[in-house]
Amino acid sequence: MTRPTDLSGERFYQRGLTGLRALAAAWVMMFHLNGMVGPRAMHVFGVEVHPLLTVGWVGVNIFFVLSGFLLTTHLMETGARRGVEASLPRYLEARVRRVFPAYWIQLLVLLVVTLLATGALPTWLGYLPLHVPMLHHLSETANGAINPVYWTLPIEFSFYLCLPFFARMLLGIEAIGAGKWKKLVTLYLVTLACAIGYRVLVFRIFPGAQVGTLVWAMGQLPGSLDEFMIGSAAAVALRWLRLEGRYPPPATAAAWSSILALLGFAGIVAMIYSLDSVYATYWKGHWLMFAWYSITCIFIAMVVTGTALGGPITRLLFENRVVYFLGLISYSIYLWHFPIGDALARALDAKSLGIGMFSLIAIPSIVAASALSYYLAERPFLRSRAAAGAEPSPAAASASAK
């Protein structure tokens, strides 16, 4: 078990945040595997537990909040030392290296495998020109044509491009000092209002639209910005507490870590069951359709902050070797779980196996392929950046699109 990280200085890294990415990837993976088997009612000691799988897309929201937290921490650190503009080339290079190589290699592998398996070019070949530059989110049809999980990638990369603007603004607020906490809250509330307003606008623009259309339209960055920004706000709050010398001593920090993590997880579960209870009317304009993601991501931010504080509960959950390793390969798990799971589901008649047996078969294959992808398609590009003389911080090393 690792010891709590010293957060009293400006530099920051918490190993548990990498482990938390494993939870996010696993939740999305189980959501899709459950869908391949066919969602069924499940009970444990008389309690319905299937909503934890059928609303498993919450793993994507964890990724979004984590990205906001980690990348804001990184940009605030480097921006304070060198200026945001001077840090921008390396920041953008790191984002491209982190996201695109494994993604491009998967596109190539899927193309070759389809050609070898069927003897014909894939039906989705026409969507490839939009996918290569990661612009497939601009078309609802292209968005899920190759791999359904791809929809989040351009949304997240769009946030990467916006973040330097917010980081510069926050550093300016930090330098002035006066009223900075109120300004931080105001900035988040503005992005929250914009996100909810955008979701309402989409619902009015697409009256009577199919669920898939609403998911595609509402999921664009304006509708997801508050999810990233709640993570950013949490990162800035911890940074300011450290710089002001008001960061709590280890025992107090550990206590707050456990409190925040437990309350956050309880809140996430409560939001999952609240959505499940209104699902019949959710996509018809229920108020939760506009506010569910915003409220849930506040609870996720509590878990992220609690993990960053490094208390005993979060260290036990997210800093052990297995979970940490799965966190390292979480981006590849995110990319590969659907095509591998889908292929196995078709070959094995997953519906007859049930979620338990199918998971026992599918998960080892997914983890093995993801580890191979990480070592061959991800890590070489991250190492080449370091060898080229870049200045990666611990936070940057932990930060990931997925």
4 falls within a domain: no
Q: What is the pLDDT along the chain (402 residues), one digit of tens a residue?
A: 334 444 434 455 689 999 999 999 999 999 999 999 998 888 888 889 999 999 999 999 999 999 999 999 999 999 999 999 999 999 999 999 999 999 999 999 999 999 999 999 999 999 999 999 999 999 999 999 999 999 999 999 999 999 999 999 999 999 998 999 999 999 999 999 999 999 999 999 999 999 999 999 999 999 999 999 999 999 999 999 999 999 999 999 999 999 999 999 999 999 999 999 999 999 999 999 999 999 999 999 999 999 999 999 999 999 999 999 999 999 999 999 999 999 999 999 999 999 999 999 999 999 999 999 999 999 998 876 554 444 444 444 444 445
Query: Please, where are the H alpha helices in 285-373?
Result: 287-309, 312-318, 321-328, 330-348, 350-373
| pLDDT score at 60 | 98
What confidence score (pLDDT) does residue 13 get? 66
Residue 49, domain member (yes or no): yes
In a domain, 179, yes or no: yes
CA 28 – CA 228 distance, rounded (Å): 18
With respect to residue 9, please indicate whether it lies within any of the assigned structural domains: no
CA distance 126 to 145: 10
What is the rounded CA–CA span in Å between residue 299 and residue 265? 7
DSSP element (H, E) containing 53: helix 51-54
Residue 148, token pair as written in the block:
């359904």
Residue 173: which domain range? Answer: 15-398
Q: Look-up: residue for tokens 């009223």? A: 179
Tokens 């000092």, located at residue? 177
Q: Residue 24's closest CA among 54, 80, 65?
A: 65
φ and ψ of 65, to 5 deg? -65, -40
pLDDT of residue 379: 93
- The total of structural domains in the chain comes to 1
CA distance 23 to 171: 31
Q: What is the pLDDT of residue 43?
A: 86
Q: What is the pTM of this model?
A: 0.93
Q: Average model confidence (pLDDT) for the chain?
A: 92
* Helix/strand/coil percent split, the chain, to 5: 80, 0, 20
Residue 3 forms part of a structural domain: no
